[in-house]
Amino acid sequence: MISFSTKYSKSFDFRAILTNKKSNLSKIKSFIDIKSSNELKVKAYNNKAGFTFVSEIKNNKFSNLFFFNVKENLKDFEYQELGGLIIQESLKLKKESIELSIDTLPNFLVKENIIKNILIGMISRGYVFDNYKSKKNVKTVKKIIIISSKKSLIKNCTKYALNICTGVFQTRDLVTAPANILNPAQFVNEIKKLKKTRLKIEILDEKKLRKIGMHALLGVGQGSNNKSYVAIMKWDGGKKNSRPISFIGKGVCFDTGGISLKPARFMEEMKYDMAGAGTVTGLMKTLAVRNAKVNAIGIVGLVENMPDGNAQRPGDVVKSYSGKTIEIFNTDAEGRLVLADLLTYTEKRFKPKLMINLATLTGAIIISLGNEFAGLFSNNDQLAERINKVGYKENEKAWRLPLNQNFDSLIDSQIADVQNINYSGGAGSITAAQFLQRFILKKTPWAHLDIAGMAWTKKNTKTIPVGATGYGVKLLNRLVEEYYE
């Protein structure tokens, strides 16, 4: 998709010139005179949209020359949005090939951090999922040619951008796939493919899960013909005896609600109730391909929540891996049951420095935060603050909500240790987090990201086309980079 050159081609579909008010544009005088290029540079600088363009016809073919203004001291995600803008404009014109001029920037803007984020934005916005289209007629940018004399810098930036986006795309592919294709067993197969990235893969099937006592997780899937699994991805990139950091994902491959059946309208969206597991999988792929200097564990619980004669019922009591008993008030509060077993198991077996779980857990978080922030809950102020900081850098934001022992009374069960939902007292997202916290037995630093409002977008954004967002991969990769490598 991406190639490099030091020379401009004689003909082009779409040429993107990166400029700044201090740019010297003598390097492009071979195809546009200095006076015109400077006028376009000024127009791009003054235009609120951040760009301007000119088109001409040569040999019965349109050539489009776009000037994009690159400002100083932008946030990383703003440079990504600039990259997304380039792709967006090329797609409007149905252009499949882009020449991107880097050397037209002044030297103080030709920095690794700026260039790699522009490229991340371009690659991210260019994502297309057309696996099930009989006619592949979705317009996409198939080729980006980067024109620059700084070959080493550009190659490093491109490699980094591709490493990030390969994880984001892995997540988007998984989240987009329909549940009749991506059932728990097929999800396991997709994870096994990651062995080629040098991730170590371990799969726990139902026989093993019963043996070790993950009955909360197994109860969710017992109404489905599709078997349940836990998949473990291990990356050993850090010091040999260093404790790992761990990422835990809810992987409900389809959620009907079970016996507590959901309404029919919009139920098709429940194919992406496995987005937490999708994010963990994409993150682990990115950590591996970029050879992250950290020890990390990714663990996902893969189930399908279906109504059936064998399905779990409201009123049932299950014994979790921790030994705590759970009264099932609502079978549609199933993700927390999956995570409860995974949290205790991860803490006991791997003794991690920290645990971060991701889940499309509650509709209540969408009412609270819409599609702008994930809900963040944590038992550790330092971890919460770090997630908050990197979230703003990547525009994958998380808003911290409270945990407090006073909420516990809302989920105390009369006949078991805890009930899986509260019908009085409100605070649906908070009580879900309080539920999860009960299964952390050794006070390991922990954060819960409720991504129900962030996993899917129904409109194009500056760096994400309609569909699965891949939320969390960039956020958590950045967290690892800045604090744990």
- Measured in degrees and rounded to the nearest 5, phi and psi for residue 100 equal -110, 115
Question: Which structure tokens are listed for 32?
Answer: 């546009």
Pairing of strands 446-450, 418-419: unpaired
Question: Which structure tokens are listed for 57?
Answer: 């016809």
What 201-207 contacts at long range (C-beta under 8 Å, 24+ apart), as own/partner pairs, is: 201/231, 201/232, 201/233, 201/234, 202/231, 202/232, 202/234, 203/229, 203/230, 203/231, 203/232, 204/229, 204/230, 204/231, 204/232, 205/229
Closest CA to 123 of 92, 153, 93, 79: 79
Using CA of residue 34, residue 36, residue 37, residue 39, what is the dihedral sign?
positive
Rounded CA-CA distance 44/144 in Å is: 22
Instruction: Tell the burial category of 39 from Cβ atoms under 10 Å away from its Cβ (0-12, 13-18, 19+).
Output: middle
Give residue 339's pLDDT.
98
Give residue 61's pLDDT.
67
Rounded CA-CA distance 428/263 in Å is: 19
**Are 338 and 223 a contacting pair, CB within 8 Å?**
no
Residue by residue, pLDDT tens for the chain (485 residues) are 899 999 998 878 899 999 999 999 999 998 899 999 999 999 999 999 999 999 876 666 678 999 999 999 999 999 999 999 999 999 999 888 999 999 999 999 999 999 999 999 999 999 999 999 988 877 889 999 999 999 999 999 999 999 999 999 999 999 999 999 999 999 999 999 999 999 999 999 999 999 999 999 999 999 999 999 999 999 999 999 999 999 999 999 999 999 999 999 999 999 999 999 999 999 999 999 999 999 999 999 999 999 999 999 999 999 999 999 999 999 999 999 999 999 999 999 999 999 999 999 999 999 999 999 999 999 999 999 999 999 999 999 999 999 999 999 999 999 999 999 999 889 999 999 999 999 999 999 999 999 999 999 999 999 999 999 999 999 999 999 999 99
Rounded CA-CA distance 300/289 in Å is: 20
- The pTM (predicted TM-score) of the whole model is 0.96
Closest CA to 349 of 483, 194, 204, 240: 204
Domains of the chain: 2-148 (3.40.220.10), 166-483 (3.40.630.10)
Give residue 56's pLDDT.
76
Rounded CA-CA distance 210/212 in Å is: 6
**Are 316 and 205 a contacting pair, CB within 8 Å?**
no
Is 336 annotated as catalytic?
A: yes
What are residue 51's DSSP bridge partners?
Answer: 68
Residue owning tokens 């129904």: 458
**Are 86 and 98 a contacting pair, CB within 8 Å?**
yes
Q: Where are the alpha helices (DSSP H) in 93-182?
A: 112-125, 151-176
Rounded CA-CA distance 303/249 in Å is: 12
**Are 277 and 328 a contacting pair, CB within 8 Å?**
no
Is 262 annotated as catalytic?
A: yes
Rounded CA-CA distance 236/293 in Å is: 8
For residue 379, give Cα distances in angstroms to 67, 110, 182, 286, 404: 48, 41, 34, 27, 10
- Measured in degrees and rounded to the nearest 5, phi and psi for residue 46 equal -85, -20
Pairing of strands 325-327, 317-319: antiparallel
Give residue 60's pLDDT.
65
Find the catalytic residue in 336, 397, 474, 478.
336
Find the catalytic residue in 262, 293, 353, 400.
262
